[in-house]
Amino acid sequence: MADDGSNGETGVPVAIRTVTWIVLGVALMGILGLFAIRCELGPEAARAYPSRTLAAEPEPVLLPPPPIDEDYFPCMDCHAGEVPNRTRRELEDDHDDLELAHGDLWCHDCHTAGDYDRLHRADDTAVGFDESWRLCTQCHGKKLADWRAGVHGKRTGYWWGAKEYRSCVECHDPHSPAWKPIEAKRPPKRPAEIRLGSDVRLEEVPHEAE
Amino acid sequence: MGATAQFWHFVKGSALIVSRGSRGYFTWMLLLAAVIGAGGLAYANQASNGLITSNMRDQLSWGFYIGNFAFLVGVAAAAVMVVIPAYVYHWGPIRDVVLLGEMMAVAAIIMCILFVTVDVGRPERIWHMVPVLGTPNFPYSLLIWDILVLNAYFALNYFIVTYLVYMSYRGRKYNAVFVLPIIFLSIPVAISIHTVTAFLFMGLKSRPFWNTAILAPRFISSAFVSGPSLMVLIFLVLRRVRPIEISDQAIRKLGELLAYTMVTNLFFLGCEVFREFYSQTSDVIHAEFQWFGLRNGHGIAGYTWFALVCNVSALVIFVMPELRNRIPVLAVACVLAFAGVYIEKGLGLLLPGMTPDAMGEVYRYDPSLNEVLIGAGVWGVGALCFTLMAKVATAISAGEFRYREG
Amino acid sequence: MKRNDAEDRLDARGASRRKFLRGAAAGTAALAGAPGAAQAFDFETFFQKHFREMSDEEIDDLNARLARKYEKKYGKPFSLDATGPLDGVVFGYGLDISRCIGCRRCVYACVEENNQSRDPEIHWIRVLEFEREQAFRSINLEEGNPYYDHETVPAEGKLYLPISCQHCEDSPCTNVCPTGATWKEPDGIVVIDYDWCIGCRYCIAACPYGARHFNWGQPSIPKDEVNTDLHLLGNRPRPKGVVEKCSFCIQRVRKGRYPACVEACPVGARKFGNLLDPNSEIRYLLKNKRTFVLKAELGTRPKFFYFYG
């Protein structure tokens, strides 16, 4: 670079260099100082909120199970006076619309023969239909703890307050408890479909990956 | 006459200078007016209907505007490539052009600020970022740092340009102790404007394509390619249309500097490409999109390779003195280099960074017509600012516009 | 009604051309100061302070003013407040991916509860569908598909991962916001002051979870579907050009209620509670279930925990 016109060195007089450093320093401090005046709002600084608490948490509320179809309940209306047939079989005359797919269980494992208006546990303890969950927890004990804690099953209401939880039969058909697929709600619009005017729904969206 | 009155004469005289000119000048101004007008209408449409008039969506929330912004920040910073030889090394030939280089920086910074302004969803709320009036998130947000250094660089360069031009108009030598510190201050500020802009992208851990330490050095090296290239082209045009002396020596020196900066630029690119394709972490998908496209087609791969071809061709010319010392060949190389960096640092930086997006979705983005019109309008504004400044400055240096007593 | 996409495209282009011309005219007129040509410029909102700097009276005034504005627009009474956080509460969220069936009821419950724009469409929750076989080895987000469209769900062999704002303890979005318009409240909810946001979308670039959404156009909510129980930092109708995202249903949870998505989920896959309460269900599942967070390597420390129930 020194082939013409330059002296090969930075011939900047000391006076100018000193002034430069002073100007630089003052400018930096001035600007930072300016920002320091009004920069208390960091990403976590909040308003000075007043203290707030909610009242003490009441016990969670177990919602009553849904009512049983009037055609079927009370059971003894049809079953009164009959001699129960305890043979394991597939039912052909009545209750054949029920799909039974619950492990190795069949009717009399839960329903009390001769007294169909109540259920029973494995040790023959009587359980009403309003507390049918007591049957499920015989085998599904781990679920019981989760369900009580609120981690299994749907919870509505208040996270601090009247938490509502549900009896097993509200979501699980006790005769075939495996979850059945339900209708899916429609997918979101792709970005290319969001347009000025109104959103369009393109049959074939160009340039989109699947 | 008092100092204010003298300065007012200068302003009036400048207005007179820019209102007269050759046929070519008026054709150019008319073209700029048309471009700016179209951009203005397009912006009115965007202001009224929202940014939905662009093709940006949640999956790609920064696009054409921010790409241009990143590119122009580099062009602005490149004024430093002429300031250092002129004022630090006192190299004579470059002195012809240092003022024009700083004017280019001013025009580029104006364009940067405009590109950010047209990109925000609520431009009337920009005052929220100003200290005392608003609540700038300093020091956490890099956008605030960027606003700070951009405005500082603009203020410094605009002051330098106005002062030097006015002194030249008055026929007086500039007061070195007064202005040289400010000129020297503009050098680190120039480096800081695109370091901070690079940090803006680099700091985002959600975008692994950008979250790389080499992004800041790449910004600097590509700035020092795009800026001087544009300067060479502008000088070649200016010395043809204006009575100004710009020596071949100054232009050739810029060409020589471009050799070094283009080598560095391509070296850094090579480093990036090696890291991506050799290490092959899951984040390589962004580089794959950039160079080859993904499942849904070639995407921007064509542009990426084209930019590489431009840059390498430009490098060949810059590196060989027999080629770069021939001014027409140098001009071609500068066009190639400018185009190459524009692609690489504009949409070539933004699109791979956000494709696929944070949740793995690929959205194919092309700027909408509205975005392109607004972008062209902003470039028009920058060109207009530069034209006006250069017209006055060249009139002064040619002796047409001088201060007269009484 | 199936239209061919050429028609759709033409229609869209025609619509946008008309909108362009109308918009350019309106915008130019507004810029030229023609009265009544465009929406009247809202000076009160323009000079409004940042939420964190307003006094209680100013916030009450603001709430009253906004409630009046919405009442005029939607024709029903609104209740709008800015309920503060509860003491000793930091909210956490749990999502049971062994149970999510991808029905999207949470998505639409959220849309209704939180007054999200229907057109242009905004969803705060996005459900990604993965191939179960692949997902068991590693969740590769590029393989996730948010646009699945089945008659019934769950589809055979698929795994569903709903994603919304993770309310990170160390959120990148609050760091990068230039105006401080988004911040983390003492109860852990990351909120946005919609009247302070300038719409720069730096936070959208910074979010690793794609959880933030921008109002690209003027949001629209049907009058009969608008939710009138509002919180200033949560589900109040947003203006054009600002960012929005899940607020943990701040209008509900600060009064002790579950978020709308928790209540909507038919399989009970969503859990919510106070992380500081050792007896809450969220603490139970953190203690007893296998949990993970998304993109843990980024160090954002989300408060949204995915678990296998």
Contact B136 A34 (CB under 8 A): no
CA-based nearest distance A187→chain C, Å: 5
Average pLDDT over residues C164-189: 95
Which chain B residues are Cβ-neighbours of A11 within 8 angstroms? 90
Total number of residues shown for chain A: 210
Is residue A20 within 8 angstroms of chain B, CB to CB? yes
The size of the A-B interface in CB pairs under 8 A is: 104
CA C58, CA C35: separation in Å to the nearest integer? 29
DSSP B131: T
Residues 6+ apart with CB under 8 A from C239: B122, C45, C194, C195, C215, C219
Instruction: Let me know how long chain B is.
Output: 406
Count H helices and E strands in chain A, helices first. Answer: 4, 6
Above 80 in pLDDT, residue C260? Answer: yes
CA pair distance B350, B65, nearest whole angstrom: 10
User: Does A19 contact chain B (CB < 8 Å)?
Assistant: yes
Average pLDDT value for residue range C74-102: 95
Task: Give the SS3 label for residue C80.
Answer: strand
H/E stretch holding B288: helix B284-291
Closest chain B residue by Cα to residue C199: B121
Q: Compute the distance between CA of residue B91 and CA of residue C201 in angstroms, rounded to an integer.
A: 45
Rg of chain C (C-alpha set)? 21
Calculate how close chain A gets to C182, using CA atoms only, in Å.
Answer: 7
Q: Sorting pLDDT into bands at 50, 70 and 90, what band is C11? A: very low
User: What's the pLDDT score for residue A20?
Assistant: 79
Asked whether the beta carbons of C231 and C254 are under 8 A apart, the reply is yes
Question: Which distant-in-sequence residues (6+ apart) come within 8 Å of A24 by Cβ?
Answer: B181, B184, B185, B188
Kindly give, in sequence order, each residue whose CB lies less than 8 Å from that of residue B59, ignoring residues fewer than 6 positions away. Answer: A191, B354, B357, B361, B363, C210
Does the residue B256 lie in any domain? yes
List CB contacts (< 8 A) between B185 and chain A.
20, 23-24, 27
Domain that holds residue B139: 28-397
Residues of C in contact with B370 (CB under 8 A): 20
Encode burial over B142-172: b for 16+ CB neighbours within 10 A, e otherwise.
bbbbbbbbbebbbebbbebbebbbbbbbeee
- Rounded mean pLDDT, C192-219: 96
- Looking at residue A26, its amino acid is V
Which pair of structure tokens corresponds to residue A144?
């019981």
User: Is the minimum CB–CB distance between B121 and chain C shorter than 8 Å?
Assistant: yes
Q: Quick one: pLDDT at residue C12? A: 45
Q: How far is A168 from chain C (nearest CA, A)?
A: 11
* Helix, strand, coil shares, percent, chain C, to 5: 35, 15, 50
Q: What value of ipTM does the predicted structure carry?
A: 0.93
In a domain, B123, yes or no: yes
The helix (H) or strand (E) run that includes residue B391 is helix B369-397
Q: Do B359 and C144 touch (CB under 8 A)?
A: yes
Q: Does A45 or A54 have the greater pLDDT score?
A: A54
Kindly list the distances between the CA atom of residue A20 and the CA atoms of A133, A209, B175, B337, B401, in Å, as whole numbers in the listed order.
83, 56, 14, 35, 32
Interface of B with A in 135-174 (CB under 8 A): 135-140, 144, 148, 152
Nearest residue of chain C to residue B138 (CA atoms): C178
Residue B406 inside a domain? The answer is: no
Phi-psi region of B115 (alpha: psi -120 to 50; beta: other; left: phi over 0): alpha
Instruction: Select from B130, B137, B190, B115 the least CA-distant residue to B160.
Output: B190
CA distance to partner chain C, nearest, from residue A22 (Å): 30
DSSP output for B295-337: TTB-TTHHHHHHHHHHHHHHHHHHH-HHHHTSHHHHHHHHHHH
Local structure of residue A129 (DSSP, 8 states): G
Q: Which chain A residue has its CA at the smallest distance from B177's CA?
A: A16
Domain C91-308 has CATH 3.30.70.20: yes
Closest CA in chain A for residue C125 = A188
Across C115-131, average pLDDT: 95
Q: What pLDDT does B209 receive?
A: 96
Whole-prediction pTM: 0.90
User: Is the confidence at residue A35, as pLDDT, over 90?
Assistant: no
Give B40 or A20, the one with higher predicted confidence: B40
Burial class (CB in 10 A: 0-12, 13-18, 19+), C5: middle
Dihedral pair phi/psi, residue C89, rounded to 5°: -125, 130
Q: Which tokens hold the place of A120?
A: 């029973």
* Residue with the larger pLDDT of the pair A95 and A206: A95
Q: Tell me, what's the pLDDT at C232?
A: 95
- A-interface mutation test, from B46, B49, B57, B95, most A Cβ less than 10 A away: B57
User: Is A23 in contact with A125 (CB distance < 8 Å)?
Assistant: no
Please tell me the distance from the alpha carbon of residue A98 to that of residue A80, in angstroms, as a whole number. 21
Give the lowest-confidence range in A196-205, B167-176, C279-288: A196-205
**pLDDT profile of chain B (406 residues), mean per 10:** 81 88 92 97 95 96 97 93 87 86 95 96 93 86 93 93 89 84 90 95 96 95 96 94 88 94 97 95 94 88 96 96 94 97 96 94 94 98 96 86 71
Q: pLDDT at position C37, please?
A: 37
Chain C interface includes A5 (CB < 8 A):
no
* Structure letter (DSSP) for residue B65: H
- Judged by CB atoms closer than 8 Å, whether chains meet at C208 and B360 is answered as no
What's residue C114's pLDDT? 97
* Amino acid occupying residue B333: A
| pLDDT band per the 50, 70, 90 thresholds, residue C19 | low
- Within 8 A of C160 by CB-CB distance, chain B residues are none
CA distances from B403 to B156, B399, B406, C37 (A): 25, 10, 9, 48
| Contacts for C284 with CB less than 8 Å, ≥ 6 apart | A146, A149, A150, A151
Burial of residue C219 (number of CB atoms within 10 Å: 0-12, 13-18, 19+): buried
Per-residue confidence (pLDDT) for residue C40, from 0 to 100: 64
> Does A91 lie at the interface with B, CB-CB under 8 angstroms?
no
Neighbours of chain B (3+ CB pairs under 8 A): A, C
How far, in Å, CA of A37 to CA of C218, rounded? 36
| Structural element, H or E, at residue A62 | strand A61-63
At which residue do the structure tokens 């900047």 appear?
A12
State the Cα–Cα distance between residues C181 and C194, nearest whole angstrom: 7
Nearest of A4, A7, A6 to residue B249 by alpha carbon:
A4
Q: Which residue of A has its CA nearest to C280?
A: A149
Q: Which of A7, A191, A195 sits opposite B58 (nearest CB)?
A: A191
Say how far apart CA B159 and CA B182 lie, in whole Å: 9
C-alpha distances (whole Å) from C74 to each of A37, B41, C77, C221 are: 42, 32, 8, 9
pLDDT of residue C6: 44
Q: Which of residues 17-76 of A touch C (CB under 8 A)?
A: 41-47, 49-54
Cα–Cα separations (whole angstroms), residue A66 to A63, A124, A169, B249:
9, 24, 8, 93
Q: C267: helix, coil or strand? A: coil
B225: which residues sit within 8 A by CB, 6+ positions away?
A: B258, B261, B262, B265, B311, B314, B337, B340, B341
Average pLDDT over residues C113-134: 94
Question: Per-residue DSSP letters for B364-380?
Answer: -----HHHHHHHHHHHH
User: In a 10 Å sphere around its CB, with 0-12 CB exposed, 13-18 middle and 19+ buried, how is residue C149 labelled?
Assistant: exposed
Nearest-by-Cβ selection for C147 from A51, A153, A190: A190
Rounded to the nearest angstrom, the minimum Cα separation between C302 and chain A is 15
Neighbours of chain A (3+ CB pairs under 8 A): B, C
- CB of A54 less than 8 A from some CB of B: no
Interface test with chain A among C258, C271, C290, C306, by most A beta carbons within 10 Å:
C258
pLDDT of residue A202: 57
> Over pLDDT 70: what percentage of chain A?
84
A93 touches chain B (CB under 8 A): no
Please name the residue that has the structure tokens 């969506």: B57
C285 touches chain A (CB under 8 A): yes
Q: Which residue has the tokens 């901070």?
A: B196
Asked if A37 is an interface residue toward chain B (Cβ–Cβ < 8 A), one would say: yes
Query: What is the spatial distance between Cα C238 and Cα C240, in angstroms, rounded to a whole number?
Result: 7
User: pLDDT (tens digit, 9 = 90+) per residue, A136-178?
Assistant: 999 998 899 999 999 999 999 999 988 999 999 999 999 999 8
pLDDT at residue C181 greater than cutoff 50: yes
- C partners (3+ CB pairs within 8 A) are A, B
Residue of B46, B282, B359 with shortest CB distance to C210: B359
In sign, the C-alpha dihedral spanning B307, B313, B319, B323 is negative
A111 pLDDT above the threshold of 60: yes
B320 inside domain: yes
Q: Where are the domains of chain C?
A: 91-308
For CA atoms B67, B69, B75, B80, the dihedral sign is negative
Whether the Cβ atoms of residue B311 and residue B340 lie closer than 8 Å to each other: yes
If you measure CA to CA, which chain C residue comes closest to A57? C256
Torsion angle of the four alpha carbons C4, C5, C10, C15, in this order, in degrees rounded to the nearest 10: 100
Of A1, A19, A191, the CB nearest to B85: A1
Q: What is the CATH number of the domain that holds B252?
A: 1.20.1630.10
Strand locations in C174-281, DSSP E?
A: 182-184, 190-192, 213-214, 229-231, 243-244, 270-274
Partner B contacted by A34 (CB < 8 A): yes
User: d(Cα B58, Cα C215) in Å, to the nearest integer?
Assistant: 9
Q: Is residue B19 part of a domain?
A: no
* Interface residue of B364, B366, B368, B371 to substitute, partner A, most A CBs within 10 Å: B364
Closest Cβ–Cβ partner in A45, A171, A185 for C103: A185
Contact C201 B53 (CB under 8 A): no
Does residue B124 contact residue B47 with C-beta atoms inside 8 Å?
Answer: no
Quick check: C159 pLDDT over 90?
A: yes
Q: Which of C146, C163, C198 sits opposite B126 (nearest CB)?
A: C198
- Say how far apart CA B303 and CA B284 lie, in whole Å: 18
- Please answer whether residues B153 and B111 qualify as being in contact, where contact means their C-beta atoms are separated by less than 8 angstroms: no
Residues of C in contact with A35 (CB under 8 A): none
Q: How many domains does chain B have?
A: 1
CB B85 within 8 A of CB A1: yes
Question: Are B363 and A192 a contacting pair at CB < 8 A?
Answer: yes
